[in-house]
Amino acid sequence: MTRALFIVDVQNDFTEGGALGVDGGDAVATAITRHLRAHAGDYELIVASRDWHHADHDNGGHFADGEPNYVDTWPVHCVAETTGAEYDPELDTGAVTHHVKKGQGVPAYSLFEGTTDDGEAVADLLTRHGVVDVDVVGIATDYCVRASALDAIAHGRRVRVLTDLVAGVAASSSEAALAELAHAGAELVTSTDR
Residues that bind Zn ion (CB under 5 A): 51, 103
**How crowded is the C-beta side of 125, counted as CA atoms within 13 Å?**
27
35 or 77: whose CB is closer to Zn ion? 77
Strand order in the sheet with 3-8: 115-116, 98-102, 45-51, 3-8, 133-139, 158-167, 187-189
The least distance separating Zn ion from the CB of residue 102, rounded to whole angstroms, comes to 8
31 or 100: whose CB is closer to Zn ion? 100
70 or 116: whose CB is closer to Zn ion? 70
Q: Catalytic residue at 102?
A: yes
Contacts of 84 (CB under 8 A, 6+ apart): 11, 12, 13, 18, 19, 77, 78
Q: From the CB of residue 190, how many other CB atoms can be counted at a distance below 10 Å?
A: 11
Q: Catalytic residue at 144?
A: yes
Q: Catalytic residue at 9?
A: yes
The least distance separating Zn ion from the CB of residue 101, rounded to whole angstroms, comes to 11
The least distance separating Zn ion from the CB of residue 168, rounded to whole angstroms, comes to 15
Candidate list 26, 102, 142, 151, residue with the active-site label: 102
The CA-CA-CA angle for residues 142, 145, 149, to 5°, reads 115
The least distance separating Zn ion from the CB of residue 178, rounded to whole angstroms, comes to 21
Candidate list 13, 101, 144, 151, residue with the active-site label: 144
Candidate list 9, 51, 142, 151, residue with the active-site label: 9
25 or 103: whose CB is closer to Zn ion? 103
The CA-CA-CA angle for residues 11, 108, 59, to 5°, reads 95
